[in-house]
């Protein structure tokens, strides 16, 4: 079988998780597009040969992109990837007003798909985009693809089935007009990966304390903890211990649960289970079960990136933990992106 020479454009690229995974699969990502200027240095530092385009997709014109990247319409070897910010369609109860501007990004991405009619299309998003498929634009998106002769497959999957050591549920769509066969990566037959497969001393992570600042490329930096929170975590049993022991303690203070989705805050990960979904706030124990399984601290920036399957040499060029957390938590795990890419490259 002749090897495919696929080139891709990664819309909403953020820090480059999808780009890195696709590159590892043998796909040449010629550009990443994002509105956030804080993504530029990280994207370019880790994805040599891929051009970063700072642009608002609402304002970006199809002809402008065609000219800048030398793209052709109806190119069988072109892949357009759209991993738009998805907080508005998330099932997690968040303030939707902050993310309302992003709710129509799939519709905007569809403009480029209609214009270029590429050989392949990939979307990765939250599962909630399916339950709100009419409002999110997914129904029209799929209908347009199928009317143009694309074979479309979409599913909600748990990325722990695809080599990612997290319970991370995501929506994935893969479409092609150059084959009548369905394209989608197959779940692993191997044992599902857990936290201990990726972090800990055996995986090269030295023991550090809360507030540790790693000034090397490794970025094993850890957020500081208040005296009270350090006491709370130090008394929490190792390996999946939760915060129930101190919640009625008069000295440490009462802290009420804010609904079932917040029951894991101030708790520890388990060595023998996948991590919870790595969010943009994974460096804070008050934002989820992000306590280290044994050490009295939250997981570090590098540990969070590793649980997202970023290569250990992937550098996050940011001035703060908060910005690094955003780039890591918003990313498509490169391992999953690689598997999507390989499914496309190996398709018949």
Catalytic residue among 39, 83, 86, 240: 86
149: left (phi over 0), alpha (psi -120 to 50) or beta: left
Annotation says 86 is catalytic: yes
What Rg do the C-alpha atoms of the chain give, in angstroms?
Answer: 21
**Backbone φ, ψ for residue 214 (5° rounding):** -95, 115
Cα–Cα dist 258/265, whole Å = 10
Q: Which two tokens stand for residue 29?
A: 């990502």
Pairing of strands 51-54, 120-125: unpaired
- Please, where are the H alpha helices in the chain? 17-24, 40-46, 62-69, 96-99, 105-116, 128-131, 133-136, 138-147, 227-234, 301-307, 321-329, 334-345
293: left (phi over 0), alpha (psi -120 to 50) or beta: alpha
Cα–Cα dist 328/6, whole Å = 26
CB 233 within 8 A of CB 294: no
Cα–Cα dist 91/191, whole Å = 28
Residues identified as active-site: 86
């Amino acid at each position: 079988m002749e090897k495919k020479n696929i080139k891709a454009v990664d819309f909403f690229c953020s820090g480059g998780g999808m780009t890195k995974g696709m590159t590892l699969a043998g796909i040449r990502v010629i550009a990443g597009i994002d509105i956030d200027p804080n993504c530029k240095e990280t994207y370019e530092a880790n994805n040599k040969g891929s051009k970063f385009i700072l642009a608002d997709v609402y304002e970006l014109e199809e002809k402008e992109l065609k000219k800048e990247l030398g793209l052709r319409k109806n190119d069988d070897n072109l892949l357009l990837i759209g991993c738009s910010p998805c907080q508005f369609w998330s099932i997690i109860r968040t303030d939707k007003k902050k993310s309302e501007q992003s709710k129509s990004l799939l519709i905007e991405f569809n403009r480029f798909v209609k214009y270029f009619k590429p050989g392949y299309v990939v979307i990765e998003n939250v599962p909630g985009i399916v339950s709100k498929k009419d409002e999110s634009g997914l129904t029209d998106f799929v209908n347009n693809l199928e009317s143009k002769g694309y074979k479309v497959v979409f599913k909600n999957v748990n990325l722990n089935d695809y080599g990612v050591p997290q319970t991370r549920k995501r929506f994935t769509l893969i479409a092609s007009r150059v084959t009548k066969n369905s394209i989608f990566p197959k779940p692993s037959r191997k044992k599902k990966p857990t936290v201990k497969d990726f972090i800990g001393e055996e995986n090269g992570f030295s023991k550090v304390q809360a507030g540790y600042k790693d000034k090397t490329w490794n970025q094993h930096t850890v957020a500081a903890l208040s005296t009270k929170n350090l006491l709370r975590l130090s008394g929490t049993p190792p390996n999946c211990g939760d915060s129930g022991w101190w919640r009625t303690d008069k000295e440490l203070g009462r802290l009420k649960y804010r609904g079932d989705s917040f029951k894991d805050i101030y708790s520890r990960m388990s060595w023998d289970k996948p991590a919870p979904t790595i969010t943009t706030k994974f460096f804070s124990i008050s934002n989820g079960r992000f306590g280290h399984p044994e050490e009295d601290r939250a997981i570090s920036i590098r540990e969070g990136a590793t649980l997202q399957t970023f290569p250990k040499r992937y550098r996050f060029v940011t001035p703060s933990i908060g910005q690094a957390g955003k780039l890591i938590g918003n990313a498509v795990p490169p391992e999953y992106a690689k598997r999507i890419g390989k499914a496309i490259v190996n398709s018949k």
